[in-house]
Chains A and B, each alone.
Chain A
Amino acid sequence: MAELYDKYGGLLYSVILRSVSNPSTAEDLVQETFLRIWNRVHTFDVERGRLEGWMVTIARNRAIDYLRSLRSQPGESATSLEDLEHSGLFVTRETEAERLTRKNAVGAALDSLNESQREVLELTHFQGLTQTEIADRLQKPLGTVKSLVRSALKILRTSAVEAGGAR
């Protein structure tokens, strides 16, 4: 586990801190994340799975669960995040190099998003708001929110596909 921490601990902490904005809370959630990883590791296919992706998703979900609990909305109206971290969803046929190429392309494409697109991605990916909550927060019509998320994800998805060939 020390090796896993050394390799991914900084990333998980960074993702969680970006969500919760409090170093002490972030550290608590990192610890919780590693315990969850440990308890579920028997379900993970080490040979075929995207380990970093699985871990960073679990970390993000712990932060979102925490934020939802603060909002006194334990996600009743939203999808259970646990359903989205099942290890079977993290299978890949790509090599590490291919995946890294696509990841870098997505990272570069993030810089090309406009301010509104970045704002909604911050709320979806790091604050865990539902579409209705985002519309309320931004005082924008639901259709506008969906359109912003859609356009942002399309740019990123296209960059990933182009970097990885016809995947």
Chain B
Amino acid sequence: MMSDQFTDLCEFYALGMLDGEERVLFERHLAEGCADCRAGIEKAIELNEMILSATPRVEPSRNLRRRVLAGFGHPVKEPRRALRWTFALALAAALILAFAAAWNFERRERLAGAAELARLREIQQILEAPGTKQVTFGPQPAEPHGSIFVHEKLGMILIASGLAAPPAGWTYESWLVPKDGAPRPIEAFRASGGRGMSLLPPSLPMSDLKAVAVSLEPADAPVTKPTKLVFAAPLG
């Protein structure tokens, strides 16, 4: 069991309140890889979280929400990484992130924060990966058109514009269309302002895929095959 002295040091360190020689000595001790102190610091940090979380709530202005979300239209990137991007891809990524924020804002289904975080993280990884390629489809503005961001191992992001509002009781569904075999349903998604986005996992090797498709499906029925095909975007 950790002595009271080290418990104190861990708790004071976790608050950032150690200073002077005491801080230097303790940080030197930590650098030696003391597992007990590391565990002590983790416990201290957790206690600090609970104290912070007990803060009485004060509501921010409504404008703050808009400000924060708007900021994700211009994500901060490390300069070195940004240099690896083509300008077009960087611009597209910024637009997608802004759209992702707006899209989530309008979702009726409330996802848990962690689930949304995981999804956004997947999107970010695909957009930032050096091997990501952009495939466009539907050159006619009056028809569904947009882009698919493709990464061999991480999956794809489908961004479609020109989508009509689905009839009541229907929803859009994304599909992976293999070169051989039946299309595979991926996920239902909403179209807002004519635009929709779907995250497609790397469930099949890219070399086995022919297209990404979107269909309209009855919202309450099981999805087995496309009911009303909206478009199919070739991948190669």
Contact = CB atoms under 8 A, between A and B. Distances in A.
Interface of A: 1-11, 13-15, 17-18, 23, 26-27, 30-31, 34-35, 38-39, 41-42, 44, 46-47, 50-53, 56-57, 59-60, 64, 75, 77-79, 81, 84, 89-92, 102-103, 106-107, 110, 121, 124-125, 128-134, 146, 149-150, 153, 156-157, 160
B69 interface: yes
A47 B41 CA distance: 21
A157 B47 contact: yes
Given A38-B72, A130-B18, A103 B50 contact: yes
B32 interface: no
A90 to B, nearest CB: 7
Nearest to B69: A2
Interface string B124-137: 11000000000000
Interface string B69-109: 10110011000000000000000000000001110110100
A6 B107 CA distance: 13
Contacts of B117: 4, 41, 44, 46, 51
B33 interface: no
A79 B50 contact: no
Contacts of A31: 64, 67-68, 71
B17 A57 contact: no
A6 B41 CA distance: 30
Interface stretch (B7-15, B160-168, B185-193, B210-218): B7-15
Given A27-B60, A35-B71, A79-B27, A153 B116 contact: no
Interface stretch (B51-59, B138-146, B223-231): B51-59
16 contacts: A3-B107, A4-B116, A4-B117, A9-B68, A11-B55, A23-B60, A27-B67, A31-B71, A42-B125, A53-B53, A79-B23, A84-B16, A102-B50, A131-B18, A149-B11, A150-B11
A128 to B, nearest CB: 6
A41 B119 CA distance: 11
Given A41-B124, A42-B121, A130-B19, A1 B51 contact: no
Contacts of A160: 47, 50
A114 to B, nearest CB: 16
Given A11-B57, A14-B58, A39-B76, A60 B52 contact: yes
Contact of B54 (A2, A5, A13, A107): A107
